[in-house]
Structure 1
Amino acid sequence: MSRIVQFTAPGGPEVLEFKDIDVPMPGEGEIRIRVKAIGLNRAESMWRTGEYIEEVKLPARLGYEAAGFVDAVGSGVTGFKKGDAVNTVPAFSQNQYGMYGEVVLAPASAVVKHPPNLSFEEASSIWMMFITVYGAFVEAAKLKTGDVVLIPAASSSVGLASIQIVNMLGATPIALTRTKAKRQQLVEAGATHVIVTDEQDLVSEVMRITDGVGARVVFDPVGGPSFGKLIKAMTTGGILLAYGALSEEPAQLSYLDLLIKLPTIMGYTIWNTTGDAVRQKAAVEFITKGLSSGALKPMIDRIFSFDEIVDAHRYLEKNNQFGKIVVTV
């Protein structure tokens, strides 16, 4: 028997409940994993409230990232055996699989070998954030040396991963944060510049930093009233990748600014990369190389126990973390 987490109605963290289930042997193309750590993601919070990009089928499980040991392998699975240390990457629907559990099933296509220099807690924190950023900057934006990148919500796990990969690629990260409380942490995390948007004028600061040129790439998870300011802060012909909708207010922008800046505005999700086996493999190799060299590092804010999963979700929704929230099992 294994304890898993599910919910039978959408709502706040309190709808999460434990359930004892008998986890079957893995089917064809599946791997059964004995979980040691779970990484939490904003996508799972949105899934729980019914506000995600995919319709939830109730009762529902949840969770994309887990680290642990292979417990059994299904038919047709190669490259993995019982006892191997492994991680899962977000490459499946939560309507089909959920990683919040003591023992879970996962599609072999979403399982990768555990980076040997990381703890289970660290490994459960890396794949959503680094693959998301890899796909945006390497595949979509084709980031190059000398580019300037604006990173709103820079203290989130994806924001911090963005700073690291921008630096790894030889570009310049400008971190955006609402208050000055996290300014020094962002500098220590590798941000070349930090703009405190509640105190500084975003557009004029970017133009000052770039000598009036603007940023070629913007990676925005917020939207809302500040969206138009991001357009104004871009260079002509730049690219804005929208990968979230943290603001509940409508995005605001001027059509005239679109004609002046001529930006490419794209919606982006991690599925662009993990939905293709070849692209996922390239992403995993890039990230593994960065982890080995020290250019990429896990950033964990706080660790909860599995019994504290409701509290962990409450903490996630406060938006005060600096890095990833992890749950040990």
Structure 2
Amino acid sequence: MARTVRFHELGGPEVLRLEDLDPGEPGAGEVRIRVDAIGLNRAEALFRSGRYIEQPARLPSGLGNEAAGVIETIGTGVTGLEAGQAVSVVPSFSHNDYGVYAERAVVPASAILPREDGVDAVTGAAVWMPYLTAYGAMVEVGGMRAGDVAVVTAASSSVGLAAIQTADRVGAVPVAVTRTRAKRQRLLEAGAAEVIVSDEEDVTERLRELTGGRGVEFAFDAVAGPGVVDLARAMAADGTVFLWGAQSGLPTPYPGFDLGMPALNMRTYTMLEITRDPGRMRRATAFIASGLRTGSLTPVVDRLFPLEEIAEAHRHMESGTQFGKIVVTVGH
């Protein structure tokens, strides 16, 4: 038996229960891992509360698709992996099908990446969702190059911080946007070239000032809603606004017509564009792994919670006060 987090009804963090369940044996194309650390993602709070865009939860439901641990058992047809191997689980499957909020979990072998020497479980659980999201949009899809200016909203999130480091690594200029001054200095220390405090400054005006009126080549926006108009006004000709989240919860307009039909690109983006494409995934994995080896990519961990405090970890995630990734550790 293994302690496993499930919820039997939709709601707040209080619906999460820790139950003793048999993790089962892996089937064809699956592996079972001993889970040592779990990376929390905002999508899990949306799934738990019934606000997840892509699909509703089938109750009772497990949760979680990013973790690190050690392979215990391998199912039939799995090659290139072995029992005892330290691995990370990459988010590439539905919470309705698998869940890693547990002491032990069966997951698809296709979601497994070997953990290199020196990458501990906490790092292995904190790295993949943020950096696959950031690299995928900015470099693989967007084609960001040295000298480009990239504005990053929700910059103190794990994805926002990964986007700042990714831009720095390719020689682009990351400009962080944060609501209050409280996180400004930490964002500068994390690699932001400039920080705009949106509660105090005009975002459009500051971006145009920082670029000498040229505008920014890329906007990586996790907030969406009416604020996309301010970003659109600050875009360079043929610039692209990537929408990878909708934290505002408000309708998101397309501002191109109201702004006089500029050469504006605006698209949604999810990490699955990378994980479901073998070629893109191979390049992304190489970029991130080399960044970890050289230290140019370093996941920022906000706080650790034990598995027994999973509800409190979700409350902290929903508070919006974190700086970086929240990781849950599993004692054995």
- Scaled by the length of structure 2, the TM-score of the pair is 0.97
Partner SS for 2:217: strand
Partner SS for 2:260: helix
Gaps of 5+ in 2: none
**Aligned-pair distance for 1:225?**
2.3
* Code of the aligned partner of 1:241: F
- Does residue 1:229 correspond to 2:226, yes or no? no
How many residues are paired up? 329
Partner of 1:26: 26
- Does residue 1:174 correspond to 2:183, yes or no? no
Partner of 1:192: 193
**Aligned-pair distance for 1:250?**
2.0
Partner of 2:301: 300
* Correspondences of 1:153-168 after superposition (within 5 Å): 153-168=154-169
- Does residue 1:38 correspond to 2:41, yes or no? no
* Code of the aligned partner of 2:76: S
**Aligned-pair distance for 1:10?**
1.0
Partner of 1:68: 69
Asked if structure 2 preserves the Cα contact closer than 8 Å seen for 1:222 and 1:244, the reply is yes
Asked if structure 1 preserves the Cα contact closer than 8 Å seen for 2:152 and 2:221, the reply is yes
Alignment root-mean-square deviation, CA: 1.1
- Does residue 1:95 correspond to 2:64, yes or no? no
> 1:145-197: per-residue Cα shift (whole Å, max 9, x none)?
11000100000000000000000111000000011110000000000010001
- Does residue 1:202 correspond to 2:200, yes or no? no
Partner of 1:15: 15
- Does residue 1:285 correspond to 2:267, yes or no? no
* CA distance in structure 1 between the partners assigned to 2:174 and 2:255 by the alignment: 25
* Code of the aligned partner of 1:318: S
Asked if structure 1 preserves the Cα contact closer than 8 Å seen for 2:256 and 2:262, the reply is no
Compare 278-287 and 20-29 and name the one that shifted more.
Answer: 278-287
Asked if structure 2 preserves the Cα contact closer than 8 Å seen for 1:38 and 1:67, the reply is yes
User: Identity of paired residues, percent?
Assistant: 47
Partner of 1:56: 57
* CA distance in structure 2 between the partners assigned to 1:282 and 1:252 by the alignment: 33
* CA distance in structure 2 between the partners assigned to 1:40 and 1:161 by the alignment: 15
* Code of the aligned partner of 1:129: P
Asked if structure 1 preserves the Cα contact closer than 8 Å seen for 2:204 and 2:231, the reply is yes
Asked if structure 2 preserves the Cα contact closer than 8 Å seen for 1:222 and 1:247, the reply is yes
- Scaled by the length of structure 1, the TM-score of the pair is 0.98
> 1:266-292: per-residue Cα shift (whole Å, max 9, x none)?
110011111123322221111001111
**Aligned-pair distance for 1:119?**
1.7
* Code of the aligned partner of 1:109: S
* CA distance in structure 2 between the partners assigned to 1:23 and 1:9 by the alignment: 21
* Code of the aligned partner of 1:161: A
Asked if structure 2 preserves the Cα contact closer than 8 Å seen for 1:226 and 1:252, the reply is no
> 1:1-35: per-residue Cα shift (whole Å, max 9, x none)?
10111111111000111121112111111010001
* Correspondences of 1:146-157 after superposition (within 5 Å): 146-157=147-158
Asked if structure 2 preserves the Cα contact closer than 8 Å seen for 1:235 and 1:261, the reply is no
Asked if structure 1 preserves the Cα contact closer than 8 Å seen for 2:38 and 2:67, the reply is yes
- Does residue 1:120 correspond to 2:121, yes or no? yes
* Code of the aligned partner of 2:322: Q
Asked if structure 2 preserves the Cα contact closer than 8 Å seen for 1:236 and 1:260, the reply is no
Partner of 1:319: 320
* CA distance in structure 2 between the partners assigned to 1:51 and 1:258 by the alignment: 32
Partner SS for 2:161: helix
* CA distance in structure 1 between the partners assigned to 2:229 and 2:114 by the alignment: 42
> 1:186-226: per-residue Cα shift (whole Å, max 9, x none)?
00000001000111111111111000011110111101221
**Aligned-pair distance for 1:55?**
2.2
Partner SS for 1:163: helix
Gaps of 5+ in 1: none
* CA distance in structure 1 between the partners assigned to 2:311 and 2:186 by the alignment: 27
Compare 181-190 and 255-264 and name the one that shifted more.
Answer: 255-264
Asked if structure 1 preserves the Cα contact closer than 8 Å seen for 2:291 and 2:297, the reply is yes
